[in-house]
Structure formats: structure tokens, C-alpha cells
Amino acid sequence: MNLNNATELLGMLVLAAAALSCFAVWRRSGGIWGVLAALYLLLGAEVLLSGRHLLSGVLRDAVRGSTFYEERTGVIALLILALLVGVLVFFCFWLIRRTAGAPAKLAMLAGLGMVFVFALELTSLHRMDALLYRPAGPVFAVGWLWAGLSGITVIAALWASVRAGR
């Protein structure tokens, strides 16, 4: 991680805030909050290590000489992404159905959105990259997506804490 990169710094801060808020709720009431804390902790580590960019580069280099790379289209990448996201969505909705409480459901949906954003970055579709890495003030647009989704998670965790305090 480059501390001079405002997007990565913002990402680390908001992901840490989401992880800590989920951990605090999990310590108090258990449930899915521990899984969410672990998810945000892993995503924070991923930002720190830039694993999605490294993995994307390795995959691109592995297929660069093949006909697949020359014939690739956005449609193929979108189909692969859709399959992965579809499986993830199915699993998350299965978990959400089993999870009690609106705050946990909201936090899980925000977590799903965060995983989707990271999946978009991993697939490295040129048009999508142009949107995600477009400057939006001092950070790239992807940083504001991370902040928004992490903010939703923090608000949901606060909501769960207030409800548990009754």
C-alpha cells in the first residue's frame, strides 16, 4: 500500500471502521457480525497488499499468448463475473434469510456490494476500470464506493447496537 495514495488510504480507514464496528456488535450479540468483521478485515488486507491487481496481472499474463486473449471480449468476462456474482448472491441471500434483524441484513447487503466492487476490479474490464478509477476529488471513484458501502455497514452496526441495548 502506498500511503501517498489517497484512495488506498481512504479504503484502509473505511474498511477498518467497518471491521471494528462489526466486531463490536459480534462481541456483544454474536451472529453474522463476526463473519462480516472477518470479511471487512480481509478486504482491508487486500487493499493493503493490492492482491486484486496482482492476481489480475498474473491471469492476464497467463492467457496473453493464447487465442483466448486475442479473442476475448467483454461479454466473456461479464459472463464469468455474472456466474461468480450469481453464486455469491445466492449464498448471501441464503444467509440473509437465516439471519434475524434488519441491521444484519443491511450490513450483509453492503458486504455483498463490497465484494462485487472488488470482483469488478479483479476482472479489469477496460470500460469498468475507466469508471472505477476516474478521479472524483482527491480519490478515485472506487474509493467513494468503498466509503459508501463501509458507511452503510457502520450505520447498520450502530443500529444493531442500539436495538440490542433496549
> pLDDT for 35-69, tens place per residue?
899 999 999 988 888 777 676 666 666 666 655 55
Q: What are phi and psi of 135, to 5 degrees?
A: -60, 135
Are residues 47 and 1 in contact, defined by beta-carbon separation less than 8 angstroms? yes
Using one digit for the tens of pLDDT, what is the confidence trace for 69-107?
555 555 566 666 667 777 777 777 677 777 678 899 899
pLDDT in tens, 110-158: 998 998 888 888 776 677 788 888 999 999 999 999 999 999 999 999 9
